[in-house]
Amino acid sequence: MHAPLVALAVVLVAAVGQAAPTPAERIIRGGPIVTVNPAQPAAEAVAIAGGKIVAVGSAADVMALKGPGTVVTDLAGKTLVPGFVDGHSHFWSLVDVQTQALCGSPPAGPCRSVADVIASLKKVQERRQLGPGKFVMGFGYDPELLAEKRAPTRQELDAAFPENPVIVVHVSGHGAMLNSRALAAYGITAATPTPAGGVIGREPGSQEPNGLLFETAFLPIFAKVPGPNDDEALELLKSGQELYLREGITTAQEGATMKHQLDLLRIAADRGMLKLDVVALPFITELDAVFAGGPPRNEPAYKNRLRIGGVKIVADGSPQGRTAFFTQPYRTAGPAGQQNWRGEPTFPQPVLNEMVKKVYDGGATLFVHCNGDAAIDALLEAHRAASGDDPTKPRGTVGVHSQFIRRDQLEKYAAWGITPSFFTLHCFYFGDTHVANRGLEQAAFISPMKAARSLGIRPTNHTDFNVSPLDQIFTIHTAVNRTTRSGVTLGPDERISPLEALEAITIDGARMYGEQATKGSIEPGKLADLVVLSANPLTVPPATIKDIRVEETIKEGRTVWLRTPEDGPR
């Protein structure tokens, strides 16, 4: 029965003397309501009680649930949509971004040159009073966008910070530049062998490290980089949630969770600090610690807004960092100058197969980072090997990014029930770089949302924060427009409609987590997770979707973020 008929039936029951329904606690009306429910695509009003949606329909029907204490919210022409479900990000990064220097280039950050990167590092050193011996951390540098077309060198970082170890993380998050003190702190010397699946940059004509580390050479360091103490981290976690809430996100992902991070998230949850739901994905190397040697399993329910929702494996690197694993060579040299370079897998195939089987046997949902087509081949082979006689058995496996997927691989995703979580922000932030590295034909098929949907797949979409800024509206915009920094439309055939782009970060995200019965659309019985937008993304000119602002974020009927004049424009 449709919601308007339900509301009308309630009124009729009350009229013949039976108990009237409990009045709504809140009613929202006065603007377009995009429900993302194909059975009822639009509505005039929504009623909320007990943290859930209790009626959706015409203003007259829903207002029948108004009682003496009901709060009626007038949208004043603004648009109501379901709360945004994060397809993939790193929730813990909200701690890092508050303690590290932003070294990204416009519009993601302020740095246009190597000197700007060093200036940003200097500012965080001064703000955090990092004296001699203290690590100075930065993130987000993109050598392709700096005037010099390169990273700051070890020698430049040494000169600027003679008494401090310095680590500046690449925009991909898969590598970094280190100065001499940082290299020494981690014992990286000329005698250090380059690990399989890793990159250690060397000075010309020698084995002396030049400061560049990527993938498996960087991962052990990344896991040990110094950060705030536990008390400070919890405070930063509490305040930093606003980064998600101001973007309309009501369900977030912690996309590669270390045991200590999970411990702190649980403390934050138990203290009632979380204002949105967080799905944690323990990293594959942490399974024994997280599950105490037992099988990896999803937690079926949230506890104080936190649950384990799967396990994360990284199968390769990043295409913008030229470490993603491909079947054909890059058109440019590798990050350390390698020629005829295809990238490398993070793990050999037999090891990946064992990892996938362990997750499948335990019953947890598997999330595999794979960017290059060779890495996607590796995921498919590991899935086949771990599935025995039936690779079509539903498991909910997610191919995180799946950027450079081939059509034949996409068809296999469809047949085997693997969901891609795409990353259309790459079209803007890195599209021109991908054309240079991979050629136009392959670059134009990155994150093929339309092709996936034509096969019956319902892909999600994401920001991978803090690789890209946490901006759900721009995620919609890039899925609809696919425009690069230079203004080129990258893969026009893969553009999708605004409604389809909205579905990817609402109902399709909820489905990926197995939460579609409670989230992702505006329907009676679902959680009242909602977002108020300044305009309707379905009706504005597509090129202006990026200008829409989140005005209010509502979690289970309660406003958890509200734009004020101090928040300024987007």
What residue spans define the domains of the chain? 93-222, 309-496+507-519
Superfamily of domain 309-496+507-519: Metal-dependent hydrolases (3.20.20.140)
Per-residue exposure over 384-402, b if at least 16 CB sit within 10 Å of its own CB, e if not: ebbbeeebeeebbbbbbbb
pLDDT at 431: 97
- What residues pair up with 489 in beta bridges, in sequence order? 483
Q: In terms of Cα–Cα distance, which of 373, 385, 386, 309 is closest to 345?
A: 373
Q: State the Cα–Cα distance between residues 140 and 111, nearest whole angstrom.
A: 10
Q: State the Cα–Cα distance between residues 350 and 352, nearest whole angstrom.
A: 5
Per-residue exposure over 551-565, b if at least 16 CB sit within 10 Å of its own CB, e if not: bbbbbbbeebbeeee
User: Which CATH code for domain 93-222?
Assistant: 3.10.310.70
* Secondary structure class of 158 (helix, strand, coil): helix
Q: State the Cα–Cα distance between residues 546 and 473, nearest whole angstrom.
A: 6
Q: Where are the alpha helices (DSSP H) in 149-258?
A: 154-160, 180-185, 219-222, 230-240, 242-245
Per-residue exposure over 3-13, b if at least 16 CB sit within 10 Å of its own CB, e if not: bbebbbebeee
The DSSP 8-state label assigned to residue 30 in this structure reads E
Q: Where are the alpha helices (DSSP H) in 128-173?
A: 154-160
* H or E, element range at 553: strand 550-555
Cβ partners under 8 Å of residue 255, min gap 6: 88, 89, 90, 91, 281, 312, 367, 400, 464
Judge contact between 188 and 154, C-beta under 8 A: no
Judge contact between 331 and 364, C-beta under 8 A: no
pLDDT at 2: 42
* Residue-level pLDDT, tens digit, the chain, 570 residues: 344 333 333 333 333 334 557 899 999 999 999 999 999 999 999 999 999 999 999 999 999 999 999 999 999 999 999 999 999 999 999 999 999 999 999 999 999 999 999 999 999 999 999 999 999 999 999 999 999 999 999 999 999 999 999 999 999 999 999 999 999 999 999 999 999 999 999 999 999 999 999 999 998 888 788 889 999 999 999 999 999 999 999 999 999 999 999 999 999 999 999 999 999 999 999 999 999 999 999 999 999 999 999 999 999 999 999 999 999 999 999 999 999 999 999 999 999 999 999 999 999 999 999 999 999 999 999 999 999 889 999 999 999 999 999 999 999 999 999 999 999 999 999 999 999 999 999 999 999 999 999 999 999 999 999 999 999 999 999 999 999 999 999 999 999 999 999 999 999 999 999 999 999 999 999 999 999 999 999 999 999 999 999 999 999 999 999 999 877 665
pLDDT at 388: 86
Q: In terms of Cα–Cα distance, which of 55, 82, 52 is closest to 526?
A: 52
Rg (alpha carbons) of the chain, rounded to whole number = 24
- 219 backbone dihedrals φ, ψ, rounded to 5°: -55, -45
Domain 93-222 and domain 309-496+507-519 have a common topology: no
pLDDT at 311: 98
